[in-house]
Amino acid sequence: MATDTTASSVTHDAPRIALPATVLGVGLGGFVDGILLHQLLQWHHMLSNSGSDNIGLPTYSPDTMPGLRMNTAWDGVFHAFTWLAVLIGLGLLYSRVTTARGRMWRSRVLWGWVLVGWGLFNLVEGVVDHHLLGIHHVRAGPGQLWWDLGFLVLGVVLIAVGWSLQRVGTLLRDGDDTRP
């Protein structure tokens, strides 16, 4: 009888994790972007294309100390946003999943929605920052349009894979989260 109650409440939780997991995915996707592209590879910073952007910002070249300071400050604002998205996603997830939390963390449903969130991050950030505002590009210079388009394609792929994954997953069984 206890198993039926747990299974029933977990089944009830499955649709409720879409928003929290998507918000978590937005934050985690932003962290991957910021840590990998901004810090490790140093391909761009938040304002690295300023001066030739679409909104008329002054030039903040990361090749100068004042420009690097401004870019680092805006990278910090970006990381604060992604950190808040992760915290909000985790908080919402915790508040909505009240039983069988261990099964939820192993679930394809959760990780599918996280991938959807990461893909949405790529699409929104790519369209807004790379194309509309033009404040930075994935990798500026020759071929920058292809890098920017590839970033958008990756977003679409992440959404498609995440959507498929959450559709075939379930939160019901220990160790097996696929539908029969």
| Tens-place pLDDT, residues 73-111 | 999 999 999 999 999 999 999 988 877 777 888 889 999
Helices 108-125 + 144-168 axis angle, to 10: 160
Summarize pLDDT for 23-36 with one digit per residue, the tens: 999 999 999 999 99
Task: Give the per-residue pLDDT at 102.
Answer: 76
CA-nearest of 90, 85, 87, 94 to 13 is 94
Q: Alpha-carbon distance 53 to 178, whole Å?
A: 47
One-letter amino acid identity for 129? D
CA end-to-end span of the chain, whole Å?
21
Q: Is the pLDDT of residue 70 over 70?
A: yes
Among candidate residues 127, 149, 146, the one with its CA nearest the CA of residue 54: 127
The pLDDT value recorded for residue 164 is: 96
Q: What is the average per-residue pLDDT within 130-148?
A: 96
Alpha-carbon span 134 to 155, nearest angstrom? 18
Q: Tell me what the pLDDT averaged over the chain comes to.
A: 88
